[in-house]
Amino acid sequence: MSDVADRGLRDRTAELAVVRQQAVEDLDKRAAARQHRLGKLTARERLARLLDPGSFTELGMLRRHRVTDFGMAGRRPWTDGVVTGWGTVDGREVFVHAHDFGIFGGSLGEAHAAKIHEVMDLAESAGAPLIGLNDGAGARIQEGAAALAGYGGIFRRNVRASGVIPQISVMLGPCAGGAAYSPALTDFVLMVRGTASMYVTGPDVIKAVTGEDIDVEGLGGADVHARSGQAAFVHDDEDDAFDTLRALLSYLPSNNREFPPPGPADDPVDRSCEALLDLVPASPNRPYDVRRVVEEVVDHGEFLELQALWAANVVIGLARIGGHSVGLVANQPMVLAGVLDIEAARKAARFIRFCDSFNIPLVTLVDVPGFLPGVGQERGGIIRDGAKLLYAYCEATVPRIQVLMRKAYGGAYIVMDSRSIGADLSFAWPGNEVAVMGAEAAANVIHRRRIRDADDPVGTRRALVEEYRQALMHPYHGAELGLVDDVIDPRDTRSALHAGLEMLRSKRALLPERKHGNPPL
């Protein structure tokens, strides 16, 4: 770039083309061989697969770091190791940042961070989702505190944008330290098996401090985080992750001031759900897969389940009814009999808060025996975590509909979006039992002495259990009290939900003015 004054705009435009080519093609070529060998794509290849063709506009392509120590003065690649910009997914605007592992391992220095800060600010201003394609080694060691401060700026922006725009993190390589913490602050994390990992402290440091031997995959690979709850989805390859990301976006609004975009409304809303009569066994203790119930009720049986391998005793996910997005929360009788425990409560609570932030109505399918009793649960904080779930529902102002399918005992009945904590509508199936506890346990407690002193304790007990069942263990008890709006034919569940959701479409609910609440954490 010499003799600047002597050259005309034609020459300088030609020079620009060379610089841009260096920034794009040369860098990509260098990175590509290594990435492909590891079964990974380069940052730009990833963006090309994720975004609509030709829709990407890059920002800060010519940004470089200013560091001179550690031989860095001679290594100043364009982009500084992250590709940022905006484009569209299925025609809807999104903002993206994608680590380039080929440049300093995708590590984050001052310039790299500044590019991410800019794209985060733009995403928030434009009111469009932010997607991070993560494949980076955390804070750039050569840049010291500047790198740490760069992460601070990202974390602060993640929190500021929380509940304003959807934030989604796709983990595509080893992500250490800050490269793991920022995704933890976003709404959803997707991970690819075999290549992605997330951890705060890597294997070498762990070995030095605790003596534990572990590899990256065993420490923070996709299957580890599918079970820790950190990952909402795990995938076998990058294309599968991008397909799920596109599906996920289709259920979400672009920001908290919008409603989710309508999907096709070509599954009749008055479709009778015949299969429900056989899917749910009458006996309250017999297991079944509640996901089959969800699939029967929602449009075309399409249900995007989140965190399927973590706390599987509660099922959460997104679907549509009559073309409109809904968030589903359902007890899963197939796992731990569907009890609520610490992890299930935390899992459901965060999902409810997400749906509430982004105007996604909540449908809660209830079949719950109660909270899990146990010393471990009590000492582990079930009071606090159960309260999180309660807090999340009580605070939610989106349309909320409860369906009482079979049993709902004790505190778990209240917590699973009962009318008393603010559900707008509650429907019960004819076999539903709402009670402080099951009939057997109830009769044992309130008639203990009578049963003990009876000539025929077994027969007496049976009669008293039946008496309790007749008096309270049916949906008409709740209906009499106004806790159930209607007892419905299970086959009409889809049409009842659709009618309720339509009625509530313009629901308004204002919370008292305050800085923010203080949920149990």
Amino acid identity for residue 24 in this structure = V
Stretch that binds ligand HXC, among 138-146, 290-298, 317-325, 404-412 (CB under 6 A): 138-146
Residue 195 or 255 having the CB closest to ligand HXC:
195
Identify the active-site residue in 87, 177, 220, 322. 177
Does 138 contact ligand HXC by CB under 6 A?
yes
Residue 153 or 261 having the CB closest to ligand HXC:
153
Residue 148 or 454 having the CB closest to ligand HXC:
148
Of 95, 151, 188, 251, the one binding ligand HXC (CB under 6 A) is 151
For the question of residue 106 being annotated catalytic, the response is: no
Residue 184 or 503 having the CB closest to ligand HXC:
184
CB 386 within 8 Å of CB 368: no
Does 107 contact ligand HXC by CB under 6 A?
yes
Give the integer Cα–Cα distance in Å for 364 and 293: 12
Identify the active-site residue in 31, 412, 423, 439. 412
For the question of residue 412 being annotated catalytic, the response is: yes
Specify the DSSP element, H or E, that contains 245.
helix 238-251
Give the integer Cα–Cα distance in Å for 455 and 175: 70
Does 186 contact ligand HXC by CB under 6 A?
no
Strands 92-99 and 82-89: antiparallel
Give the integer Cα–Cα distance in Å for 395 and 349: 11
Strand partners, 331: 314
The position carrying tokens 């003799």 is 3
For the question of residue 178 being annotated catalytic, the response is: yes
Residue 34 or 505 having the CB closest to ligand HXC:
34
**3-state percent helix, strand, coil for the chain, nearest multiple of 5:** 45, 20, 35
Does 158 contact ligand HXC by CB under 6 A?
no
- Least separation in angstroms between CB 135 and ligand HXC: 9
- Per-residue contact flags (x/-) with ligand HXC for residues 214 to 233, judged by CB under 6 A: --x-----------------
Give the integer Cα–Cα distance in Å for 155 and 158: 5
Give the integer Cα–Cα distance in Å for 198 and 437: 42
- Least separation in angstroms between CB 151 and ligand HXC: 5
Give the integer Cα–Cα distance in Å for 70 and 74: 10
CA dist 456 to 339, 445, 453, Å? 34, 18, 9
Does 176 contact ligand HXC by CB under 6 A?
yes
The conformational region for residue 292 under phi > 0 = left, psi -120 to 50 = alpha, else beta, is: alpha
Amino acid identity for residue 19 in this structure = V
Residue 28 or 243 having the CB closest to ligand HXC:
28
Does 181 contact ligand HXC by CB under 6 A?
yes
Does 85 contact ligand HXC by CB under 6 A?
no
Q: Which of residues 446-485 bind ligand HXC (CB under 6 A)?
A: none
- Least separation in angstroms between CB 316 and ligand HXC: 27
CB 241 within 8 Å of CB 172: yes
Q: Which residues lie below 8 Å from residue 162, measured CB to CB, with a gap of 6+?
A: 185, 187, 357
CB 504 within 8 Å of CB 259: no
Stretch that binds ligand HXC, among 101-109, 188-196, 286-294, 452-460 (CB under 6 A): 101-109
Identify the active-site residue in 105, 106, 178, 410. 178
Whole-angstrom Cα Rg for the chain = 27
Phi, psi of 306 (to 5 degrees): -110, 150
Residue 35 or 495 having the CB closest to ligand HXC:
35
Residue 137 or 398 having the CB closest to ligand HXC:
137
Residue 287's CB is within 10 A of a number of other CB atoms, namely 13
Stretch that binds ligand HXC, among 65-73, 137-145, 248-256, 491-499 (CB under 6 A): 137-145
Does 202 contact ligand HXC by CB under 6 A?
yes
Amino acid identity for residue 272 in this structure = S
SS (H, E, C) 315-350: EEEEEEECCEEEEEEEECCCCHHHCECHHHHHHHHH
- Least separation in angstroms between CB 143 and ligand HXC: 8
Identify the active-site residue in 411, 422, 454, 463. 411
- Least separation in angstroms between CB 62 and ligand HXC: 21
173 token code pair: 């390589």
CA-based nearest residue to 188, from 344, 352, 351: 351
193 token code pair: 């098996």
- Least separation in angstroms between CB 202 and ligand HXC: 5
* Three-state DSSP state, 495: helix
Using CB under 6 A as the binding criterion, the count of chain residues that bind ligand HXC stands at 18
Of 81, 105, 166, 386, the one binding ligand HXC (CB under 6 A) is 105
Of 85, 132, 174, 431, the one binding ligand HXC (CB under 6 A) is 174
Of 78, 86, 95, 104, the one binding ligand HXC (CB under 6 A) is 104
Residue 124 or 135 having the CB closest to ligand HXC:
135
Amino acid identity for residue 208 in this structure = A
Stretch that binds ligand HXC, among 171-179, 242-250, 414-422, 447-455 (CB under 6 A): 171-179
For the question of residue 222 being annotated catalytic, the response is: no
Does 177 contact ligand HXC by CB under 6 A?
yes
Residue 149 or 509 having the CB closest to ligand HXC:
149
CA-based nearest residue to 351, from 311, 380, 297, 384: 311
Stretch that binds ligand HXC, among 12-20, 65-73, 177-185, 327-335 (CB under 6 A): 177-185
Residues that bind ligand HXC (CB under 6 A): 104-105, 107, 137-142, 148, 151, 174, 176-178, 181, 202, 216
Residues designated catalytic: 177-178, 411-412
